[in-house]
Amino acid sequence: MSATAYFSILNTPIGELLLTSDGEALTGVHMEPHEQIDGRRDDAALRPTREQLRAYFAGELRRFDLPMAVTGTAFQEKVWAALRKIPYAATISYAELARRVGQPAAARAVGSANGRNPLGIIVPCHRVIAAAGSLGGYGGRLERKQWLLRHEAASRPH
8 A C-beta contact, residue 139 and residue 119 = no
Per-residue pLDDT of the chain (158 residues; tens, 9 = 90+): 456 799 999 999 999 999 999 999 999 999 977 777 888 999 999 999 999 999 999 999 999 999 999 999 999 999 999 999 999 999 999 999 999 999 999 999 999 999 999 999 999 999 999 887 778 777 778 899 999 999 999 987 66
**Could you tell me the pTM of the whole model?**
0.92
Domain boundaries, given as residue ranges, for the chain: 6-57, 74-155
Catalytic residues: 125
Q: Which residues contact 89 (CB under 8 A, 6 or more apart)?
A: 62, 152, 153, 155, 156
Domain 74-155: CATH class, spelled out: mainly alpha
Radius of gyration of the chain (CA): 15
